[in-house]
Amino acid sequence: MFPQVLPTYNRTEIAFVRGEGPYLFAEDGKRYLDFGAGIAVNAFGHAHPVLVAALTEQAHKLWHTSNLYRVPGQESLAKRLTEVTFADTCFFTNSGVEACELAWKMARRYQFVSGHPERFRIICFEGAFHGRTMAAIAAGGNVKYLEGFGPKVEGFDSIAPGDLKAVEAAIGPETAAVLIEPIQGEGGVRVMTPDYMRGLRKLCDEHGILLILDEVQTGVGRTGKLFAHEWAGITPDIMPIAKAIGGGFPVGALLATAEAAKGMTAGTHGSTYGGNPLAMAVANAALALVLEPQFIPLVAAIANYLQQQLGQLLADHPTVFEEVRGQGLLLGLKLKVPNTEFVTAARHEGLLVVGAGDNVVRLLPPLIINETHVREAVTKLAAAATSFEPKAKTDAA
């Protein structure tokens, strides 16, 4: 019989029934330390009391009204997001890819209303990931994700990241925008340097094109800043976010300057669910947590500690690990053994981590972890690594 749930995922035979802070509990009662956080989503761990209260309180009042009416939760979240970022305006979505889709529409529309209807192409990068819609797989450029789905959506020009000359060469009379993740998450935790990010900003300004930073994975505190572009001291024109902003409730947002958004008038875009009262209640509470004065400094401090510990782990297991990459709590271990096997070995030790491109294992813990959780994770990573190392001669005898 064909699987009743469409078999598009390579799932692990495990189901969780409960979560608490950075821990998940499986059906059989086994406890796991969750250093995947639902792919950088559960930034506040599982069942955070503040988020649970925000959701249940709203659930008793009102779930959904549609965007035919004002949604006060959207107004308060947009007010807060625009106060603490470059942005002047926000649109709320249900997912990361929907925020990305609007980013591309907005960039094209900006050029259209600026007298450049010919500018519709978007420069994007090899190894990128922006989601799984038709346009997103064109923007990501991963041939595995494009195969069999017909002609690639027109207007996405993929080049290698890291080389400003290549970007300049790719800018043509039809270019509308440059689209990049400050750190490629799915692509293998590949960090763009601050110099490169500043160079992109400068090129965009010189050529009258928009800079779109996809911070769906890097945003909302993950890298030790509220947004990863702050490390380079630049701001984008347009920025899709999602994942951590809902702490596990499906919600995304598109942030933009008033200038970049000037073409998006009534009727140009919409969503039935986007920014509904439930999503807004949780996202407002989540943002308030991140904006507590001590929150992000604590993320930076615990990230430092984790990175130090991983340095030692690497030194202790040179045949398993090649390098540590990333920033803040978006970290990657580049492996010398197959990453899928390592993910399994770590899970057998009771630690959840996530694979990525380039034979990398991602560590994406909840942002609320402490030193005890770090030590527990590193002990489990060491145990997983040992399972790949040749046994000492005395054992074999």
Ligand X SMILES: *Cc1c(COP(=O)(O)O)cnc(C)c1O
Task: Give the Cα separation of 341 and 368 in Å (integer).
Answer: 28
Least distance to ligand X, CB of residue 332, Å: 13
Choice between 242 and 343, CB closer to ligand X: 242
For position 359 contacting ligand X by CB under 6 A, the verdict is: no
For position 190 contacting ligand X by CB under 6 A, the verdict is: no
Least distance to ligand X, CB of residue 243, Å: 6
Least distance to ligand X, CB of residue 185, Å: 5
Instruction: Write the interaction track for ligand X spanning residues 9-48; mark x where CB under 6 A is met and - where it is not.
Output: ----------------------------------------
For position 130 contacting ligand X by CB under 6 A, the verdict is: yes
Phi/psi region, residue 298 (left: phi>0; alpha: psi -120 to 50; beta: rest), is alpha
Among residues 44, 120, 125, 214, which one is catalytic?
214
Task: Give the Cα separation of 381 and 30 in Å (integer).
Answer: 18
For position 327 contacting ligand X by CB under 6 A, the verdict is: no
- Which of 96, 101, 97 has its CA nearest to residue 246? 96
Instruction: Write the interaction track for ligand X spanning residues 240-269; mark x where CB under 6 A is met and - where it is not.
Output: --x---------------------------
Using CA atoms, how far residue 288 sits from 239, 242, 282, 299, in Å, is 20, 16, 10, 15
CA terminus-to-terminus distance, the chain? 49
Task: Give the Cα separation of 211 and 213 in Å (integer).
Answer: 6
Evaluate whether 310 touches 325 at the Cβ level (below 8 Å): no
Choice between 22 and 240, CB closer to ligand X: 240
Q: CB under 8 Å to 234, separation ≥6 — which residues?
A: 197, 198, 201, 211
Instruction: Write the interaction track for ligand X spanning residues 200-239; mark x where CB under 6 A is met and - where it is not.
Output: --------------x-xx----------------------
Q: Sign (positive/negative) of CA torsion 273, 275, 212, 353?
A: negative
2 has catalytic annotation: no
For position 129 contacting ligand X by CB under 6 A, the verdict is: yes
Least distance to ligand X, CB of residue 397, Å: 49
The amino acid at residue 396 is A
Choice between 350 and 365, CB closer to ligand X: 365
Evaluate whether 92 touches 251 at the Cβ level (below 8 Å): yes
Choice between 187 and 224, CB closer to ligand X: 187
Among residues 129, 227, 249, 342, which one is catalytic?
129
Give residues 98-127 in contact with ligand X (rule: CB under 6 A). Answer: 100
Choice between 228 and 313, CB closer to ligand X: 228
For position 95 contacting ligand X by CB under 6 A, the verdict is: yes
Least distance to ligand X, CB of residue 130, Å: 5
Least distance to ligand X, CB of residue 305, Å: 25
129 has catalytic annotation: yes
Choice between 45 and 185, CB closer to ligand X: 185
The size of the chain, in residues, is 397
214 has catalytic annotation: yes
Would you please indicate which residues are annotated as catalytic (active-site) residues?
Answer: 129, 214, 243
What residue ranges bind ligand X (CB under 6 A)? Answer: 95-97, 100, 129-131, 181, 185-186, 214, 216-217, 242
